[in-house]
Amino acid sequence: MSINSDPTADSSSRPRKITARVLAGLNIAQIGALLAKAPTVERRLCALLEKDRRAGVRRLAVRERTRQRLREAEEAREARMRELESRLWDSGLTRVAGVDEVGRGCLAGPVVAAAVVLKPGTVFPGIDDSKKLKPEQRLQYRDDIAVRAARIGIGVVEAADIDRLNILEASMKAMRQALARLGSPGPEHVLVDGARTPGSPYVETAIVGGDARSASIAAASIVAKVHRDEIMVSLDRRYPGYGFASNKGYGSGAHLAAIEKRGPCPLHRRSFGPVADLLRPEPSRAYLAFEESFRSSVSLAQLARAAGPLSARGRIELPSAELAGLRRLYRERRHRLSAVGVRGEAAAADYLEVCGYAVLERQYRGAGGEVDLIARRDNCLVFVEVKTRLQDGSYPPEERVRSRKRAHLTRTARHYLARLSPASDIESRFDVVAVVLRGRRAPKIRHLKDAFQASVR
């Protein structure tokens, strides 16, 4: 019997539509039971429920409206999941493959890719990205896909190859393997999850978030996930103690503790952070000293002084791995401190404008030098050197403008003044603005006028 017909009607007569009067003759439990059994409920009946004088019936109406909205949203999502394949099928193609990989972020085990070709018009109700499904749902879908898909291919790249190739290239290799194992003839079009295609011999389209936008990619993600999980459960028996059956090679707390206690096994990826850290030898004292000086540097000048011994041939000898690590750290710190300098110059410019100066130039370059700011107030042109730090310095900012830097500033100031009218009778001076950046608080600024004397005419 339909929920939209009168349950009290005589079975021999034609069912009558439920009216407000019929609803009044049913208690709340009867109405709730009828709603629970019904696959769909007409909007007309929902409207009647909402108008019922009983609060319990009105609550049932709210629940039913919510259920309808969720059902409609799921139907729309499933339609979107079929849209990409449907377009290709409608164009005459029949062998459309979806490909996806799993296991990129694991510390142990292989990366696995799957390619799935669905028969045109195939629908898997409720299918979604494997990460959004429960394990038992993934198993059910995998079994259904195995029966109803036209073709399935699986590619596996082991940890040793991941370390040799890097994880991105290993993932691409696994995808190419999976596509090759679909058999002949190959797919006419491949839909790939992600921003990069694996470079197979077939026509490929990369789709960011594809496992939530394509039914065939979602199917591939499920097949790959279940296959890899089964591999890790099997390997747990060969390499006990790491919890592979439960963590599947991901970096859980218990897994990290097991690596630290037992050391890595052959399944572990030696190039991945926590594993690599355990295998890396203890750094030398020289490395630790440089690392500390780089990390504690709060200005570009201080960082350059800290790195000085590394650039002097024959003065410091370090293993190549440590030297490469220090160079990476130096570049990272230089990039961060450069960004700090830009923020400091902006803060200094704002400060000068508040004090009545007009900022004419920022980072003016000329004659082989650079002036951070050129400002003017009244008849005085001010060449400003900005010194930015992340903490208060232990010495005055003028002491950080060394003689060589002063010479560069002076040459650049002359270059700028030479561009002005020869008849211009304007005064000039060199200032230093020291800026201390303090997170979200306002920067601390110290303005030193006439920081040093130099002839610019």
Q: What is the mean pLDDT of residues 105-125?
A: 94
Closest CA to 348 of 393, 386, 392: 386
Whether the CA torsion 43, 49, 55, 61 is positive or negative: it is negative
Do both 392 and 307 map to the same domain? Answer: no
Residue in this structure with the two tokens 């993934």, named with its chain if needed: 138
Q: What is the mean pLDDT of residues 155-164?
A: 96
Q: Sheet holding 204-207: strands in order across?
A: 151-157, 111-117, 96-102, 189-193, 204-207
Which H/E stretch holds residue 160? helix 159-165
Do both 46 and 135 map to the same domain? Answer: no
Higher pLDDT, 438 or 221: 221
Give the predicted TM-score (pTM) of the model.
Answer: 0.57
Share the mean pLDDT of the chain: 86
Residue pLDDT, tens place only, 440-456:
888 999 999 998 887 76
Q: What is the mean pLDDT of residues 198-208?
A: 95
The residue ranges of DSSP E strands in 255-396, in sequence order, are 358-366, 369-377, 380-389
Q: What secondary structure does DSSP assign to 1-44, as a single string?
A: --TTB-TTS-TTSPPPBP-HHHHHTS-HHHHHHHHHH-S---HH
Q: Residue 4 falls within a domain, yes or no?
A: no
Do both 199 and 324 map to the same domain? Answer: no
Q: Residue 303 falls within a domain, yes or no?
A: yes
Closest CA to 113 of 128, 103, 105, 125: 103
Which H/E stretch holds residue 436? strand 427-438
Q: Kindly tell me if the per-residue pLDDT of 135 is higher than 90.
A: yes
Is 431 strand, coil or helix? strand
Which residue type does 158 have? E
Do both 330 and 345 map to the same domain? Answer: no
Q: Residue 330 falls within a domain, yes or no?
A: yes
Q: Residue 6 falls within a domain, yes or no?
A: no
Do both 308 and 355 map to the same domain? Answer: no
Beta bridge partners of 374: 361, 383
Do both 313 and 178 map to the same domain? Answer: no
Do both 103 and 219 map to the same domain? Answer: yes
Query: Structure tokens of 178?
Result: 């999976």
Q: What is the mean pLDDT of residues 119-136?
A: 88
**CATH number of the domain bearing residue 346:** 3.40.1350.10
Residue pLDDT, tens place only, 303-357:
888 888 876 554 567 888 788 888 888 888 887 778 888 889 999 999 999 999 9
Do both 71 and 101 map to the same domain? Answer: no
The confidence score (pLDDT) of residue 280 equals 76
Do both 309 and 182 map to the same domain? Answer: no
Q: Residue 1 falls within a domain, yes or no?
A: no
Q: Sheet holding 380-389: strands in order across?
A: 358-366, 369-377, 380-389, 427-438, 441-452
The confidence score (pLDDT) of residue 363 equals 86
Do both 227 and 359 map to the same domain? Answer: no
Range of the domain at 421: 341-452
Contacts of 390 (CB under 8 A, 6+ apart): 298, 340, 436, 437
Which H/E stretch holds residue 130? none
Contacts of 336 (CB under 8 A, 6+ apart): none
Q: What is the mean pLDDT of residues 360-376?
A: 88
Q: What is the mean pLDDT of residues 221-244?
A: 97
Q: What secondary structure does DSSP assign to 276-317, as a single string?
A: HHHHSPPPPHHHHHHHHHHHH--SHHHHHHHHHHHHSTTT--
Query: Structure tokens of 452?
Result: 């040093």
Which residue type does 143 have? D
Contacts of 424 (CB under 8 A, 6+ apart): none
Residue pLDDT, tens place only, 369-402:
889 999 999 989 999 999 888 765 554 554 467 7
CA angle, 118 as apex, 115 and 121 as ends, to 5°? Answer: 155
Do both 292 and 351 map to the same domain? Answer: no
> 369 and 351 in contact (C-beta within 8 Å)?
no
> 298 and 389 in contact (C-beta within 8 Å)?
yes
The confidence score (pLDDT) of residue 396 equals 54
Do both 359 and 391 map to the same domain? Answer: yes
